[in-house]
Amino acid sequence: MTVYQWLVLFGLLLKGTVDVFALKDVVLTIRPQIVERSGYATLMCSYDLEGASLYYVKWYRGKYEFYRYTPSEKTKTKLFPLGGINVNVDRSNSTQVVLTDIEFQLSGNFSCEVTTADEPVSTETAVQNMVVVQLPESPPTISVGREPLDYGDTLRANCSSPPSRPAARLKFILNELPVAFSEDFSPRSSQETRWSDLPLELLLQEHHFNRGKLVLRCVAQILDVYHEEAVLELTSARNPVPEKVSALDSAPATFCQPGLLVGALFFIGRF
């Protein structure tokens, strides 16, 4: 038997006298969990009182309480002023708090603490992290040095993404081949936004060319809320491989046929 099973058994023995399992399943959900600066977020605290009555729900940012909901009192809601926190009281109740005009400094842990009124009083807390971001105002841009380029030349380029927080992570991709990444950057101050820059200096080799073409992409990413890219087609000094279809070139097309057939059979086989 697990400790939990023992506890359940113990609880069943006690049932009728006191209810040991008065409060459970306290869960805090923040929507959205990654919120844009000066936007708003809803913090939802769900709980199962199992028939007990609610004494209060206390809301904390870090270890500081900023909102309390006490259903038994005349003034059910109580606000504790805390720097940078704006509560929309009209939209807040016993299970949720709505924060508006969210600033960077609110990034961090929030928690809701639920306490029952009936003896024995039980208290449960749930914690959730919120991240405040500022996205760049425009997509990244690429600047390059001289063109055209050939094997043995050095490709010089810069990619930059306008100020954001956190700074965007940048990646250069040359013809589907990742060739450079930016490093992660930790902001020094709570208000800081920052440009992201990524230089590229690459000695071009044969495998960098695809049919004589050079396509350079720069991808800017912030957590999983922002993904933008810039694409630049560079002039290559290499003659592109002729794309006209000759008698010889048509040969690979016939190789496709068995594949198509297998694909069709597989498809039929799935029914």
Ligand X SMILES: *[C@@H]1O[C@H](CO)[C@@H](O)[C@H](O)[C@H]1NC(C)=O
**Of the two residues 10 and 64, which places its CB atom closer to ligand X in the complex?**
64
DSSP 270: T
Supply the minimum distance, in Å, between the C-beta of residue 145 and ligand X.
Answer: 4
- Nearer residue to ligand X within complex by CB, 8 or 68: 68
**b/e map 177-186, b = 16+ CB within 10 Å:** eebbebeeee
Beta strand 77-79 pairing with 64-69? antiparallel
- Closest separation in Å from C-beta 146 to ligand X: 9
As measured in angstroms, the least distance from the Cβ of 215 to ligand X is 17
CB 237 within 8 A of CB 148: yes
Angle at the Cα of 241 from the Cα atoms of 237 and 244, rounded to 5 degrees: 135
Backbone angles phi, psi at 268, to 5 degrees: -65, -40
- Please report how close the Cβ of residue 105 comes to ligand X at its closest, in angstroms: 13
User: Are 140 and 230 contacting, i.e. CB atoms less than 8 angstroms apart?
Assistant: yes
> Whose Cβ is closer to ligand X: residue 20's or residue 234's?
234
Question: 96 or 236, CB closer to ligand X?
Answer: 96
Interface positions with ligand X (CB under 6 A): 93-96, 108-109, 127, 129, 143-145, 156-158, 199
